[in-house]
Amino acid sequence: MDRRQFMGAVAAGAALTAVANTSVAGVKEAGNLTSVFEGSFYLTKENPGRWAAKTEGHLPVVEVSKTDGKSTVKVTTPHGMSGYEHYIVKHQLFDEKMNLLGETMFDPTKDAPVSSYDVADYSGVLYVMSVCNKHDVWVTAETV
Ligand SMILES: [Fe+2]
C-alpha cells in the first residue's frame, strides 16, 4: 500500500465513522446522510463541499438487481483511471448498522472503478462509498 492508498483508506475509515455515529452527528433516520461531517469529511450529492464541480464523476452510481429474492448491487464510479496519478482507490458497501458487506480495491493500471456485491436477502439501507485519491470520499445511500 503506497501513501495515497493509505491516505484514502484513512479518509474512508474516518468518513465511515462519521456516518456510523449517526446519533452523535444528528442523523434522524437510516439512509439520511446529513451530519456535521457531510460536505467536508465525506461528500454527497446534496452536499459535495469543495468538490461540487466534480460530483458527476465521483458520486457512486448504484444499481440493484433482484433474482429469486436475492439482491446484487453493482457500483460504478464514472471516473477515469489515470494510473496512480488520479484514480478511484476503492469502493465499500455497508448495511444500515455499518457492517461492512463488501470492499473492492482498484489497481489503476488495469481496473475500471466498477464492483459488484451479492447482498443475498438483505433488505434495508445500503451505504456505498467511493474514494478518489484526489477528490476525497463520496457516499450514496440506497435502499434494497
Ligand atoms: Fe477524482
- Determine the distance separating the centroid of ligand 1 and the alpha carbon of 24, expressed in angstroms: 29
Domains of the chain, first to last: 3-143 (2.60.40.730)
Torsion of CA 19, 21, 22, 24, to 10 degrees: -140
Q: Which residue has the higher pLDDT, 19 or 118?
A: 118
Report the alpha-carbon distance of residue 114 to residue 76 in Å, rounded: 4
Centre of ligand 1 from the C-alpha of residue 82, in Å: 10
pLDDT tens, position by position, 80-114: 999 999 999 999 999 999 999 999 999 999 999 99
Give 14-61 pLDDT, tens digit per residue. Answer: 555 555 544 444 444 667 888 999 999 999 999 999 999 999 999 999
Alpha-carbon gap, residue 91 to 75, rounded angstroms? 8
DSSP track, 46-78 = S--GGGGGGHHHHSPEEEEEEETTEEEEEEE--
Distance 131 CA to ligand 1 centre (A): 8
Q: How far is the CA of 20 from the centre of ligand 1 (A)?
A: 24
